[in-house]
Structure 1
Amino acid sequence: MNPEHDWVTTPITADILRGALDLEHTEHGVLPHRLPARARAQNTDGQLAMAEAQPAGVRLAFRTRATVIELDTLRTKRVYVGAPPRPEGLYDLLVDGRPAGQATVGGGNTLTIDLTTGSAERSTGPVGTLRFAELPDGAKDIEIWLPHNETTELVELRTDAPVEPAPDRGRKMWLHHGSSISHGSDAASPTATWPALAASLGGVELINIGLAGSALLDPFTARALRDTPADLISIKIGINLVNTDLMRMRAFGPAVHGFLDTIREGHPTAPLLVVSPVLCPIHEDTPGPSAPDVSALGEGRLAFVAMGDPDETASGKLTLGTIRDELARIVEQRAADDPHLYYLDGRELYGDDDSAELPLPDQIHPDAATHRRMGERFAKLAFTSDGAFGDPNA
């Protein structure tokens, strides 16, 4: 803490935090969660537990005259054995809706993951401090977007002027669920994930339930979506079901129906957009599971390979191609009785031509430039007068 200011300490509570479904009180402060406690209690998978606690789309939002802001946080950074170091988690500062700065926070915990064995080791570290100074005078709306790819405990918020919750600007709430690609994968920063970019362009508030490795049609996730207030809803289904080799076609169709049925219990008439997978060449016609490419790890880079056999689709194993066909069929069937249900082929966001220009660096996840392209395209396809969501500001 810098002693030169008369600090105002503001409790970090739900009224100044957006994009989280729950706040857990920890020994250090509060930990934002993107699944509620009931859902977390029904989960036994470590990957999902890690993903939902990473605050993709979560941001502090408040109004203040402060010119200096300090935020103490405790991060948990991931390290993959044999792979290059991951970029530092970035915090994005917006002032009155415009980018005004970026920063990282040191210290924190480290989770070292061995992809070849599935083991993980955790080491602890100290709390770090984020500081934004020389902000413009006068009352202003502040948003601090938390790193989308690092678990972040919020310890203390200090400002040199009082803070109040940001006013409601009357924007519609968009609730989105998807995989690591929606979570943010290799986006440049938390406001540069494709859902965050699309929300900004569409003029809506975002709740991002993108769960890396974990968009698996879990019933507790469907119930979380059902129970979350929203005006617009989208679910992006496919890649995780293939790369985990979780189910066969016999189970897939009923699981999609059940997922949609549950969402509709809480949102019977909200526009609901089902998005099929973006192009992923290794799994277009080859089933999962995916596995780390050992030869790539030997070269110090992270990449994935498909371990299935295309002939296995005859016995019901899923590929991205078969998933797209089934999702299109299901949406067409249901739309006869649900006029607010829509379908978007994910290849309209990232397809063959895009793959030739911007190939997936690790064979599964898009890079920063591709996130921007996908966000811009989704905004045009969904947030326009003839899109599934229409123009939220019309």
Structure 2
Amino acid sequence: MKRNHCPAISVLDPGVHLSPVRNDGAVTSLPAPPILEEWYRRYLDRAELDISSSGVQPYSFAELRRIAGIGHDELDGIVMDDSTSQGSPELRQAIADRYAGGRREHVMVTHGSSEAIALTLGTLLEPGDRVVLSDSLYHSLGHFARERGCEIRTLPLGELSDGAFPDAVLRDTIGPGVKAVVANFPHNPTGLSLSGTGYRAFLDRVADSGALLVWDAAFAEITHGADPLPNPEMLYPHTVSYGTFSKAYGLPGLRFGWCIAPPELIERTFPLRDRTTLFLSPLVERIALHAVRAAPRLIGPRVEQARRNLELMDRWVERHADIVAWQRPHGGVCGLLELPHVADVERFCLELLDRTGTLLVPGTAFDLPHGVRLGFGGAEKEFAAGLDRLSGFLRGARGGR
């Protein structure tokens, strides 16, 4: 898989230099920021309507307190003391009870799943390791294998059919000597996922190779037409899986995540964490404890809202079948809207934003240059308005050409 770069954005926004520059004017050797994060950094605050997000509609703190039963007295009683690097035992137990078969020692809490990814992959991968990465992978999941100088193999999403990879593809990609296999299903940004049969075949192949399975479960609890896939760590012990409040919970601003892994793998991350973030705030941990316990009441309504939006999206795609293509997502709250008649998706997204105030993410953020990431997890009224603006812009652009 080729690496992500940002030259197209700098062309569209002249005068902005993406390469880090020292005070003396010399360009450093640091990598350019990921397209996805740079895109939001530059354009999110300009958007009137955001239909690009990969998460559900965020909750307000008042809504969270009401749903999860967090009282003012409890918040006032929190002592702003240190916590432990792995997380409070009570919080880890709550996560373990929901996601890890009650095994608290297999859980570590982190500042979002991004920190969990950095701590584990930044610790475990070494130069020359053979690593399999799913195609069009979220940037953090692929960064550390590339930054460490690992030998990269790609698991091609284009070979996924009816929720399964062909046996020959699995054998050719996940063979002897592979140290880690990194995957996220349901996939961001396409929403593609594995069927029950395809999931078992995938796990069997990883187990036969003896590789560490690195599983991003950010979208695991949002599926469309099928049951959620079980946590692979319960089926294949040599697994690290990640969870987050940023997608299904509607709490991205809390910056809370976790990993589930064998205790010895978690312990290997401590020297790195002891020199970086140390631990989470006790305030965040207390709020997170209530949120995990209230997970069905937080996740359920947002999943139903996303499914109604997806039905609206189905009808919208039917009306625009001559100018767009859309493979209905199997899970998550985003998908790849292909634009066959658009030559430059970054320019398309910028013009859409400038003319309509509507934000999309170009597929180039995921090495998918022929489409845009469209998110359907937001408020229904705003999502419908965003589709209306996108429709008018598409029809106008089509007529102009």
TM-score scaled by structure 1?
Answer: 0.30
- Higher normalized strand content (fraction of residues): 1
Question: Which structure exhibits the higher relative contact order, with contacts defined as CA atoms closer than 8 Å and separated by 6 or more residues?
Answer: 2
Higher helix fraction (1 or 2): 2
TM-score, normalised to structure 2's length?
0.30
